[in-house]
Structure 1
Amino acid sequence: MDKKDVGCLKAEIYVYRAELQDLGKAAGLFNQYRQFYKRDDDLSGAEQYIRERLTQGDSVIYLAVSKTADTLVPAGYVQLYPSLSSLSMSRIWILNDLFVDSDYRGHGIGRKLLDQAKMHAVQTGAKGLTLSTQLHNLKAQRLYESAGYARDDEFVYYNLNV
């Protein structure tokens, strides 16, 4: 729990693993994340997608919330998907989504979420975390590199839409 200046308010930032009761907070942030990447506003679709992830347990979501007075306001989230590395014969986590609401950026919330993702990887015995970001998202790249992530220079990634 850190006290941070958020706007004119002193707020405590909490990071915790999301559960189904957090659907509204997580879906709202997920919808904003998608819009950041130029996808249509679709809160209903976001709620359905996040509900499935939380119900099926096929991803792990951590929420960062700002507590002012008795109110918890969603400030950011990270979503991790489990995977395996054939070459290292071990578990890895794909850090697929990291998003901080624009009102809360610049207060270390992204770093706290990255730290939580790393802690999750350690606690689950994973080899590590992997992520990708758009080439033009230089702020995110600086954050990742400052947190110890190294740019891959061994593999080239391709995608196939079907």
Structure 2
Amino acid sequence: MQQIEVATLDHLNEFAVLFDQYRVFYRQLSDVERGKAFLKERITRNETVTFLIRDNGQLAGFAQLYSLFHYKALQRQWLLSDLYVAPAHRGRGLSIALIDRCKQYCNETEACGLLLETEKTNDIGNRLYPRCGFELDENHNYYNWWK
């Protein structure tokens, strides 16, 4: 049985462990406490909306959204910054359920849509997102500036 809920500070300890697994997946050093502080700040400041999914009672994955604004649509757009399902829970449709919940949230908040970015090497994600209705934008280059 799957259950989706919005992350609150009550979920922080359990969520921080899963968030750390996600970061390690993207080749970051494990640091549960630093991740927990990061999540606590985002939740406390209402800077994110995060959906947690449980699979048979166990926290199995999450989708984390950040608010953007789209200049063409003149509406809010949500950045699907982080999507993760723990390996033991993959293959059960949890990622699709999380994405569907994010789409529903777009409707609830009258947003124009979702934006996401993933590594070119993320084979699973690069197959999943088109199946979920996302279109690959091949017309733009994304650049980062890091201090």
TM-based fold match above 0.5: yes
Q: Deviations over 1:81-109 (max 9, x none)?
A: 00101122111000000000010011100
Alignment of 1:49-128 (within 5 A): 49-67=38-56, 72-128=57-113
Q: Distance in 1 between matches of 2:144 and 2:72?
A: 20
Q: How many residues align?
A: 147
Q: Deviations over 1:62-82 (max 9, x none)?
A: 001122xxxx31100000000
Measured on the aligned residues, the alpha-carbon RMSD in Å equals 0.9
Pairing 1:22–2:11 present: yes
Q: 1:35 aligns with which of 24, 33, 44?
A: 24
Q: Deviations over 1:43-65 (max 9, x none)?
A: 00111011111111100010011
Q: How far 1:29 sits from its partner (Å)?
A: 1.3
* Higher fraction of strand: 1
TM-score, normalised relative to structure 1:
0.88
Structure 2 residue ranges without an equivalent (≥5): none
Q: Deviations over 1:101-126 (max 9, x none)?
A: 01001110010000011111111000
Q: Deviations over 1:137-159 (max 9, x none)?
A: 01111111100000002221111
Pairing 1:48–2:48 present: no
Structure 1 residue ranges without an equivalent (≥5): 1-11
**Aligned structure 1 segments of 4 or more residues deviating by more than 6 angstroms:** none
AA of the residue aligned to 2:63: V
